[in-house]
Structure 1
Amino acid sequence: MPSPLKISPQPRKLVASQQVSTRDLLNTFFYYRWTAVSVVLIFLVLGGAVALLVPPTYRAESRLLTLYAGYYDMQMDRSTNRAAPAFDPTQVVNVEAQILSSPELHRSIVAARLDPSSDPETIDKDLRRFEDRLHIEKVEGANVIDLSYVDSDPQRAAEVLQQLIDQYFRQRAGVFSVGRVEFLVTQRDRVRAQLDKANAQLIAFQRSNNVLNIDSQISSSVALHSLLRQRSLENDSSYAQDAGTLATLRREAKAIPATIELFRDNTEVAHAVDTMHLTLLQLQSRRADLAARYLDGAPFVQQIDQQITDVKGAITERTPHLISAVRAGHNSYYDTVQDRIMRLSSDVAGELARKEALAKQSTETGESLQRLILVANQLRRMEIDRDLLVDSFKKFSRELEQARIEQNQVDTASSTNVRIIQAPQPPTRRSNPPLLFVGIGLLVGLLAGALAVLVRSTLRETFLSPEEVERRLGLPVLCAPMGPPPPSPPLVRILSGLLRRSQPQPAA
């Protein structure tokens, strides 16, 4: 079926023009409306996805107020009695901001939160991350410094910011001093009183224990104790030797007689015994002669046997009763042994008495040595305490002089000139809410949709209205086909179908 024609009632004389009217713009946007809607929806979906995927971050904030007082109120140079230039309030804020921005301050915070064995590369990496998350701003028109720290954990963000403020006050305290002169004077006077008391106690202790030179007294006591110990050992050795010799002599003296045999005369006894043995030999010789001539049972042989038996019996019976002449005398060796026994007994008794005396003296010397050692220990403790007080007094005196010199150079106040007007608290709201990403996606989608419409309108090769044809070509339009509208993009058709299905159907 042919398209209907639109007939112009009267031809007009037109001139070609390149100007674009508002109607043309509206026609262009209406013609590519589904393209713009698709681009906006795509960026809205991307913004929602980013809002769901990006982890939440929290911003902990704090505020510091700097006052024009304290260290910065230096109107007079006291050392030279010349006026010193005063700090401008803006300069005060700049100085405190510079201290807060100090890399060493940041490095100390990062190092405190890391393991002590971390390498410098790890510390530098965390330091860069820390400085990226930290923001320090000066409020214009006020002596206020805004601090903020961003982290995924709200509690950690507040803790890190609190650590930064605490370390900042500690660092600036190292630069400025507060009331040091009065404090050092009080401490020096207190240490001086303690030192005088310690000296008095030390002198009283030495007098009560009769101590003049404790080291010399201990050395003399140790030498005396060693000498007594040596003497005791020597006495014990002599006692053991003499006691052993005395026991041996007493045991051997029991076998030594007081009298000994000097002379023994046995001539007559030997003559009588020899006569009886001679008679016995004669009888035995005669018996042998008779035995050669007669039988053993013969009367002569039996008579001789009886005589031999009688002679043997007489020898046996009379030999013990024979008396010989014996002469005895006094044993001089016995006297020598007894004299030595008496001398050794006297030595042993003397050594026992010496042993008891040495033991008593050694005990007394040991007790005296122990007492001196205890006194020396107590004395050394008192001297150490006195020396510590002396060192403390010297230290406080030096620091007092140094503080007075510094006080002459700079007039310091007793209180700091920085106040915390807003302490860091764990934030309850995210610094990157989801609506932020959705809004950014909508804004970028609108801009991208307008750009897409502009690009498509620039690349198209058709006209959208008869007026555009007449304006572009400078020719009148006699008729224009009224065709169907262009098809919608697939994404728009899908979304439109979903919307129609979600709407309630009217009742039949």
Structure 2
Amino acid sequence: MVGITMAAPAAWNVKGPDATSGSEWASRPRYVISDMPTLLWRERGLMLVVFAVIFALGLMAAFSMKTRYPAYSSVLVRLGQEYVYEPRAGDAGRGAVPDSDQVIQSETEILSSAHLKQRVIERLGLAYIDPKLAERYASAGPADKREISGIALRELQSGFKVETAPDTPIIRVSFTHQKPEVAARVLNTLLEEYLIYRRAVLSETDSPALEQQRQSFEQKLAAADSAYEQFLNNNRIGDFVAEKTSLSQLQAQIEQQKYQTDAQLQDRLGRLAALNGQLAALTPEVGLFHDINPAAADKLVQLKVQREDLLARYKPNARPVQELDYQINQLHMAIGAGRTSGESARRVGVNPVYQTVQTDKIQLAAESAALRQASEALARQIQQVTDRRIKLAGLEPAFQELSLDRDVLQANVRDFTVREQQSRAAQEIQAFSNDNIRIVERALPPTKGTSLKKPVAILSLLFAGFTALCAGLLRAFLRPGLPTPRSAARTLDLPVLGAASLKPRTA
């Protein structure tokens, strides 16, 4: 039999019988969710103390926070001349520009620079921004002044915030301070100093190196021009490139004419050979005309007239009509076979085809001779042009060297002159304007401040409640014994027959 001593609010001591060995054992309590309210209620005193202490500390921290006023402003950033790449020498990469995100990032870094904040402090004075730090600064030594300046700079940076959005040329700037007027003025002053400071950062300084390099190239160009002119005079060339081009075109034209002439010559020779063959087959004389005897046709007409006369007196199958039909058929057959044709008169004369072929033969012979002479003349002209081009080809390396040096020096002089003028103009423009930067909205003194009192108080309440709950659960789980009869039944796997309250111990 198992002996169990229990008390409703107190822990239970569980002993297992072992008659032979007399050892004691203890089982770990087994809990369910329904036991949690009982466990927490037992530790309500501890939980209340923990909650009250943490919540009181949180309220003290919340009410110690001061209200701060954020001032807002925005800046429109567009691509400007200062971001267009202009190499000092050469054209590699000329005109390359960064994308909009890189420009925004560059301007954001300038806005966030510590040097810009220091310029704002120097312009407005530390007494205007933070009077307490100004009093400490006035009475501090050199080392402490540097430390206080660093503190003021960090405070200014902590209240300053820059926000950007992808693919948006707007930078949103804000500054938070305990006084709304100070917040607006500090932010406006920072933007004014930013417009000045960015010109010093992005603008190029004027350097005499461009002018010196331009003068050096001008001297080299004068020497190259002199050598170039002397080369043309010695070789009796007015314009090398133009003459070379004209010779190339002239040779092409002459060769084209020679090809056409040769083609025409072959055409004439072929036609002349064909005419010679045709002329051998022609006769000098030919019959001009001949008369044909129409007696058979007249006879046929007479027979047909007689037949019509007979039909007026006889039937078509009468013998006279049949005989006449037989004669008409015989005459038709004779005419069709050509047995009745004959010439009554004939005239013979000169053959016009023979004369035409003779005339064409004479003309083609003359044209062939002329084309042959023209082809020979064109061949001589081609040879002359070729000789001249060969001479120019021999002179071309020296000309190319002189021309290349001259062109390069001319381009360098032109480029450095343009860059020198552009650099001066850009510096003068950038010194007085920021065309690609616009302040969209200047800061105004904010009318509504922000404070963390309420959020901190709510967080303190939640944290105090959570901590008290954790402390109560920890204390309940670490207390020895079995807190409830149901927990004892689950832990020992035995039915609980009864429960009695624990009486106070008497001496």
TM-score strictly above 0.5: no
Q: TM-score, normalised by structure 1?
A: 0.41
Q: Rg larger in 1 or in 2?
A: 1
**Greater relative contact order (CA < 8 Å, ≥ 6 in sequence):** 1
Q: TM-score, normalised by structure 2?
A: 0.41
